[in-house]
Structure 1
Amino acid sequence: MFSSVLPLVFHLGLVGVHAQTYTATYLPSNAPPQTEQGQAGTNQCGTGANQTSLCQNAFVNAVDDFCLFAPPNPGPGSVIGNTERIEVSWCLKSGYGTRVIPAGAITGAHFVHTPDYVQVTGVGDLTKINIPAGDAGGELDPHGADGNGNPIGGLVFSSAFTGQIEQVHEWTNFVAANQFCFRACKDAPIAPELCNHIYDVMGCEWNMPGNYNPGFDTCSGDSGEVRLATHISSYYPIDIS
C-alpha cells in the first residue's frame, strides 16, 4: 500500500552497482504465448485492441503512448494487493493487442526522458481500468516474491532509447485509483537500482519524484539518485525480496 508518511532518509549516488544478466529477450512479434509458469495472461498479443484482452505486454514510449498494468475484472475485490499477480495491460493506443485506456481515465501525464530511464507520472480516474475507488494501490515489477513478476510473466517494451521497440528488463509501475507512475530503465548495470522494487509501501511520489498534476507534457531530465534500503528498513517493514 502507498504511504504518505515519509521518514528521514539519506540519498547516495550510484552505489551498489552490480552486473546484471538476463536469460531471455523478446520482441512483441516473437514472444511465446507465456513467459512464466503460472501466468494468467499471455505475451502473444497480436495487434489491434480488445477490451477483454489478457495481454500482459506493456509499452512506455511517450506521453501519448504508454500502458499501465491494472486488474482484468472490475469489482471491490480487484484491489491491486489482490490482483497484482494477474494484472493485464491497458494502453493509450491500440495496435498492441491490449485493452485501451478509456477516454477520461488519464487527466494528467508527464513524461521524462533521462540518460538511464524513461518515466511517466500522472493522475486520473483509474476506476475506469478496474481499480476500485479508494484503492491506495501497489507496485508491479518484473520480480515479485518468487522472481516471476507482478504480474506473473508481464513484459515491458520501449522505443524511447533507440527509436526501435526493445524489451526493458527492469521496470516498476505503481497504480492506485487516482494516481500512477511507470519507470522503465535502459539495460545497464545500474538498471536494478534505478528501477528497484524494494520500496513497495512508499508509493509513486517517493519512488518517482515528478509531476502529479493535471495536464500533459514531455521533458528531458537527469537520472535520479539511488536510495539505500538500509536507511529506511528500520522505519518500515518493507519487502526487499
Structure 2
Amino acid sequence: MAPPHDGATSSSRRRPQTSRNLRSSASQTKTLMTLLAVSSTLMVQAQNAVYPQPTDIAGTGPKPPAVQSPAIGTWATPSAPVTDGNGVHVPPASETGLGRQAHVRSPTDFCLFMPPDPVTENLVDAEADAVAYCFNAVNGTRPMPDGFVQTAHFRKTADYVQVSGTYDWRKMNLNPYDCGGEYDNHGPSGKGNPVGAAIDGGQDFFQFLGSCDTVGVGQFVIRSCFGSRSYPYCRNTFDLMGSLWVAPGEYREPGFTSCSADSDLPVGVYNSSYTFAQGDPYTPPAVTAPSSSMCSTTASPSASGVTYAWAQFGYQQAISGGAASPTATGSASATTDSVAVASSTITSAPTVSAAASTTTRPAVATPTSSTSGARHLVAAGSALGMVFLLLVMAFVA
C-alpha cells in the first residue's frame, strides 16, 4: 500500500536540504570573509611593522656608533718632507691631516675620501669636508688604516683609471648601513664634494662608498678621468644610482688585481640614440663591465701600524639581508640572518680571517626600502601562511 500523499512534490521535498546547504554556504562564506578580514589585518600589521631604528640619524644615513674604547696605533707621523708619486717634495702625511689631493695608481696605491671625524659624521654629512685617506699618503693626506680595504681591483683604460672593491667599516667607525653618496670634483657649488678635492693626473673624478648597493657590504669605487672625454666618463649627475650602476666591475671578487681594460661607453650612454638621465621614468639596467686583459695579482697591502682612535668593533646583533661580507682576503663568509635589532653597543667583532668564516651581521636598520621591505615580506609571509592553514581547515570541516 502506497503511503498517503502529503501534497508535496519531489521538488518541494528537497527544499529543506537546499535550505541547509544555503545555511552551510552562508556559514562558510561568513568564515571566509572573517578569515580574509584577519588576513587583511595581518598584512597591514606586517607592512606597518615598526622595527627599532638608530636614535640619532642625520643626512640620509644613520650615524656611526659611539666610540667606547679608543684604539691605539703604532704609526708615527713623519717629520720631514717626502717625495710624492710625481717626484715632488711635499709635506708628509698626518693622521690629523686635512689634505684633499688624491691619487689612483694601483690596487695598493690609491686614496678614498672619508669623514675627518667618523664619530660625529656619516658619509653624507662629510660631503663638504671629507679628507683623503691614502696608501702612500703625502702632502697632509691621512694614511689608510690597516685592514680597511679588503679587496681592490685596478682598471686602466684610455679614458680613466679606477679602483673598485670592498672595505671593513669597523676600521673607520662607519655605520655598516650608511648608504653614503657620491663625492666628486664638482658639487652643488662647483667647488667640489668635498670642497677643494682634486686628483693627481685627472681632470675629473667621482667616488662612491657605502653599504647599500649590496646591503650590508661595504663597497667603493673611485675613478679618475682624463683627456678630451674626461667629464663624460666621470659625469657627476648620477649620484643616486650607486656604484654598481655607474661603474660596473669587480668589487667582491677576492684579492688585489690590476688590469688593462677597454673604455666602455660614457656613464649613462647606451647607444647612439639613447642616453639615460637620472630621474627618467624608466631606469635601464647597468651596462656590462668593460672587458679586461693583461691582468696581474698583487699582494695585499702590508700593515703599517695605522689605527685610528675611532677604530673599533661594531653592532652585536644580527640583521637579515643575506649578503655575505667579504673576509680579509675577499672570500665570502657565511652570514647568520635574524631579525634586526638596532644597537649602539660596542662589542667583539665578527671573525675576519683568510678562511671562510661564520659572521653575525651587525644590526642596524637599513635606510633602504629594499631591506625593510624584505623584513615586511617575512612577516607578511607568516601571516599568509596562517590564513591559508585556517582556510584549509575551514573547508575540510
Question: Is the structural similarity TM-score above 0.5?
Answer: yes
Contact 1:72-1:88 within 8 A present in 2 as well: yes
1:72-221 to structure 2, matched below 5 A, reads 72-75=116-119, 77-157=120-200, 166=201, 168-176=202-210, 178-188=218-228, 190-213=229-252, 214-221=254-261
Give aligned-pair identity as a percent: 36
Which structure: greater helix fraction?
2
The Cα of 1:123 is off from its aligned counterpart by 0.1
Local SS of the residue matching 2:132: strand
The Cα of 1:231 is off from its aligned counterpart by 5.0
1:52 maps to 2:96: yes
Q: Which structure's CA Rg is the greater one? A: 2
TM-score by length of 2: 0.44
Moved more, 224-233 or 112-121: 224-233
The Cα of 1:187 is off from its aligned counterpart by 2.8
Contact 1:51-1:100 within 8 A present in 2 as well: yes
Equivalents in 2 of 1:85, 1:131: separation in Å? 17
Name the counterpart of 2:51: none
The Cα of 1:48 is off from its aligned counterpart by 2.4
Unaligned runs of 5+ in 2: 1-59, 62-83, 212-217, 270-274, 284-397
The Cα of 1:95 is off from its aligned counterpart by 3.3
Q: Structure 1 runs of 4+ off > 6 angstroms? A: none
Instruction: Count residues with an aligned counterpart.
Output: 186
Moved more, 65-74 or 226-235: 226-235
Select the structure with the greater relative contact order (CA < 8 A; seq sep ≥ 6): 1
The Cα of 1:98 is off from its aligned counterpart by 1.3
Contact 2:185-2:197 within 8 A present in 1 as well: yes
Equivalents in 1 of 2:251, 2:242: separation in Å? 12
Equivalents in 2 of 1:233, 1:201: separation in Å? 9
What amino acid sits opposite 1:47 in the alignment?
P
Flag the 1:225–1:66 CA change in 2: closer, same or farther, 3 A. same
Unaligned runs of 5+ in 1: 3-27, 30-44, 158-165
1:71-126, Cα deviation, whole Å (9 max, x unpaired): 00022x41221110000000012334311111110110000000111010000113
Equivalents in 2 of 1:73, 1:236: separation in Å? 38
Equivalents in 2 of 1:46, 1:130: separation in Å? 29
TM-score by length of 1: 0.71
1:63 maps to 2:107: yes
Equivalents in 2 of 1:232, 1:69: separation in Å? 24
